[in-house]
Chains A and B, each alone.
Chain A
């Protein structure tokens, strides 16, 4: 659906030149929710704005379907942009227009017949659950409601792609979740491809299929969310994940206090249905070792349940080794941690 090839964006020239994107390659499949995560200044905002040419790339190609966005004339670009919806951190609604008029705006740009505008706006109002707010102005709405108007406006022209530029960063946690649910819902119902940028791992974890981690204008890590989340390779990725589970320091201390002779500390990862099974307790019953849980998460990544426990096994060295083997046999991932 979207192919980004060797994308470079440099601001300014000569000594003052600043390269925001240093050769980005990405492949985003149709119907996918693709998340790009990075700290501020990493280049994620420039990257998403290049997709619809709000920023002109310095070099490289951006293909949406078969259309190369970087090679379009003014009129063609305007036409192509109607196939790409976009929502923003600060909503960017027309303050002088009502909710209804805001949603009708992209339709009226292309002189859609009045009856068709009315039908489509009502459909969109229904989709985002704002039917009774149609006549209000944005100033009368809450942040979450404003973003719903933004989403309705972005979807009114039936785009193939939705770009979300930090769409939940200005919202409180509950509202964020309701907007994320709405996006996931739309993705399923309409088969819409969604590209979102964020600095919150929580957003990626809740709805994304794939994630790319951007740092210093380069994609440093990329893949299915479940892989990247459970087995982060880069320090920056670990940093994003650890912020979700704050007590990394406490854990290190617990590991350091472990008596190396009679115990081993491991990280055990369960994915999918294994998460809710009693594998761990059955195994220790068989092998006769004791264990203490030092840290643990049981949660979900999008729809997939997962568990990740840091466990200290205590007992006979051979028994512990047998325990770890049994766990691996039962498709759990076991990684030994060192103090």
Chain B
């Protein structure tokens, strides 16, 4: 099994396509995770500390679903969601087929990160807005979200990076992209060089995203 790295095996055009597929999966799933996870996080935040019993039962149900989805390992989630995926995007493989499980897997995770960073907002600032006659909607849009922005960006960065590892995992079940390349060539055909290149590209993606995220957090931090 001891073989030399042979980069002539690497089909660079194939890598171009795979990288592109990964980026597409990542882009769409990040977008939908944001769209789905942010409101869920806000609802978790608002209902958790509400004085109304109705709101607190919304919290209990939502928190249970979020915890449930977060406790399923991603690879099992993809399989469990196959019928749902088929129903939503009319396929179970490729970039399109992976987006529903990626979003369902990452949105609850992101929602919890959103909830946590909203809780970090100074209670006094919210109270000041209440004292000025702000409605709940105004408090969310004009106080809590802007004040929590650095935390939200940091949380989203972590989520996108988690999504990268999810897209790579999805290669095991026909998800396409760099993960599939690494599995089918690198693992099944012992072309270590292919696996290595796939790995390097993924590492570079993670580094870039983390760097951009950190810069944005620094930009929005005013404390």
Contacts and interface: CB of A to CB of B under 8 A. Distances in A.
A169 B127 CA distance: 18
Interface string A135-161: 001110000000000000100010000
B131 A93 contact: no
A96 B149 contact: yes
Contacts of A93: 125, 128
B49 interface: no
At the interface, is chain B mostly helix, strand, loop or mixed? helix
A165 to B, nearest CB: 9
A96 B149 CA distance: 9
Contact of A95 (B129, B134, B138, B222): B222
B220 A105 contact: no
B124 interface: yes
A88 interface: yes
Interface stretch (A33-41, A78-86, A120-128, A233-241): A78-86
B223 to A, nearest CB: 5
Interface residues of B, number: 21
A52 interface: yes
Contact of A92 (B125, B134, B135, B142): B125
A106 B220 CA distance: 22
Given A88-B124, A92-B124, A97 B146 contact: yes
A109 B137 CA distance: 11
A82 B125 contact: no
Contacts of A81: 130-133
A92 B222 contact: no
**Most A Cβ at <10 Å: residue of B122, B133, B135:** B133
Contact of B124 (A52, A90, A105, A163): A90
B128 A86 contact: yes
A77 B133 CA distance: 7
A106 B131 CA distance: 10
A108 B135 CA distance: 12
Interface in A84-132: 84, 86, 88, 90, 92-97, 105-106, 108-110
Nearest to B139: A109
Contacts of B135: 78
A136 to B, nearest CB: 10
B143 interface: yes
B191 interface: no
A94 B130 contact: no
A279 interface: no
B131 A139 contact: no
B115 interface: no
A298 interface: no
A84 B131 contact: yes
A86 B125 contact: no
A109 B138 contact: yes
A94 B138 contact: no
B222 A82 contact: no
B131 A96 contact: no
Residue of A88, A95, A153 most packed against chain B (CB within 10 A): A95
B222 A106 contact: no
B147 A86 contact: no
Contacts of B124: 88, 90, 92
Contacts of B142: 105, 108-109
A250 interface: no
A86 B131 contact: yes
A106 B132 CA distance: 6
Given A54-B127, A90-B124, A96 B132 contact: no
A88 B122 CA distance: 13
A90 B123 CA distance: 11
Interface string A234-274: 00000000000000000000000000000000000000000
Interface in B208-222: 220, 222
Q: Which 9 A-B residue pairs are closest in the complex by CB-CB distance? A: A92-B128, A81-B133, A92-B124, A78-B133, A82-B133, A86-B131, A106-B132, A96-B146, A137-B222
Interface of A: 52, 54, 77-82, 84, 86, 88, 90, 92-97, 105-106, 108-110, 137-139, 153, 157, 163
11 contacts: A79-B133, A81-B133, A82-B132, A84-B131, A86-B128, A88-B124, A88-B127, A92-B128, A95-B122, A105-B142, A106-B133
